[in-house]
Amino acid sequence: MLNVSHLTKKYHRFVANDNLSFLVNDGETAVIAGPNGAGKSTAIKCIAGLLRFDGEIEICGHNNKSIEAKKILGYVPEIPAPFELLTVWEHMEFISRAYKLENWEERAKELMTRFELTDKRDKLGKELSKGMQQKISICCAMLIDPKVVLFDEPLVGLDPHAIKELKAMLNEMKAKGTTIIISTHMLESVEDIWDRVFIMMNGKIEAERTRKFVEESGENLEELFFNITEKNKSGADEK
């Protein structure tokens, strides 16, 4: 479970996240949607414990910067950052050692097979394409079997097979009770996997919907998204 309370992140005078509060339950997939510059990635980085912020963030009841929280948190950054001088397999080994995992080899092999990295096992990080690097990032995050996992624009740069595999994996994790948070500006790319959506604009959550609510009310999510984002834009233009 992820609990974010009054999250505010400022860069000098610029407010990137303005008093965000939301809850994502176990086994739920939440999407943080919004146009470029809405504050999605900043929120994700705050949750991952990479940025300073005001407010509170709890990962399964633990402060997000605590060691307990880090043990159960997976994070797939927007820009993949593999170690240039480690092979693909050594990335898996490094994560297993850093997170003190046991019996990780089979899971690592399975992840590499699913993401078609098996034949790249002995390739160095610097020799891989951006897409392959993104796959390593995903495998590293998945290897720890996280209780909460954060994806920052995860589908950018992935090939169709990897996208299919990632979505299947997300569904499996959801079934296991993992809390999944995905940041994206392309709602259609996650339309078949989300349970809860937060639409962000100018650092604020302008709308929150559950799949159940949308299905029962017949509300068009895309229309809602554009109503919020375009209205704010035209409002800003008028000013």
Partner 1 sequence: MNSILYLLRKTVKNEIIDTIRHPLKFLLYAFVAVSMLYGAVKGYTAGDDLGNSEVFSDPRLLSGAYLAVLFFISIPIMLKGLSSGTSFFSLSDVNNLFVAPISPKRILIYGVGRQLASMLVLVVTFAAYGGMIIKMFRVTASQALVLILGIALMLIMVQLVTLLIFCLASTHPIRAKIMKYIIYAMAFFALGTVIIYSFVCGISVENIFAAISLPILEYIPFIGWMHGLVFGIMQYDVPRIIIFGILTFLAGISGIIVLKITKLDFYEDVLSQAESYQEFREAVREGKFSDKVMMGNKEIKLRKRGIKKGSGASSIFYKHILEGSRRSRFMFFNINTFVLLFVAFVIGFGIKQAKSDIEPTIIYLAAMIILVYVQFFFSASGDWVKELTKPYIYLIPDGAVKKLVMAAATGIIKPFTDGIITFGLLAFVAGGHPVDIIVAALTYGSFGTLYIAANVLAQRLVGIDSTGGIFITFYMSMIVLTLLPGVVIGLVVLSNLSGSYGYIATTLLGGPLFIWNMIVSAGIFIACRNLLNNTE
- Which residues contact partner 1 (rule: CB under 8 A)? 45, 48-52, 65, 67-68, 70-71, 73, 75, 77, 81, 83-87, 89-90, 93-95, 97-100, 122, 124, 126, 140
Please say which residue, 34 or 82, places its beta carbon nearer to partner 1.
Answer: 82
Q: Which of 131, 122, 124, 177 is nearest to 154 (CA)?
A: 131
Please say which residue, 65 or 176, places its beta carbon nearer to partner 1.
Answer: 65
Q: Is the CB of residue 31 less than 8 Å from the CB of residue 21? A: no
Q: How far is the CB of 154 from partner 1 (least distance, A)?
A: 14
Q: φ and ψ at 198, to 5 degrees?
A: -115, 125
Q: How far is the CB of 136 from partner 1 (least distance, A)?
A: 11
Please say which residue, 111 or 199, places its beta carbon nearer to partner 1.
Answer: 111
User: Helix/strand/coil (H, E, C) string of 24-64?
Assistant: ECCCCEEEEECCCCCCHHHHHHHHCCCCCCEEEEEECCEEC
Q: How far is the CB of 89 from partner 1 (least distance, A)?
A: 8
Cβ within 8 Å of residue 107, ≥6 positions away:
143, 145
Kindly report the number of other CB atoms within 10 A of residue 90's CB atom: 15
Please say which residue, 67 or 175, places its beta carbon nearer to partner 1.
Answer: 67
Q: How far is the CB of 32 from partner 1 (least distance, A)?
A: 18
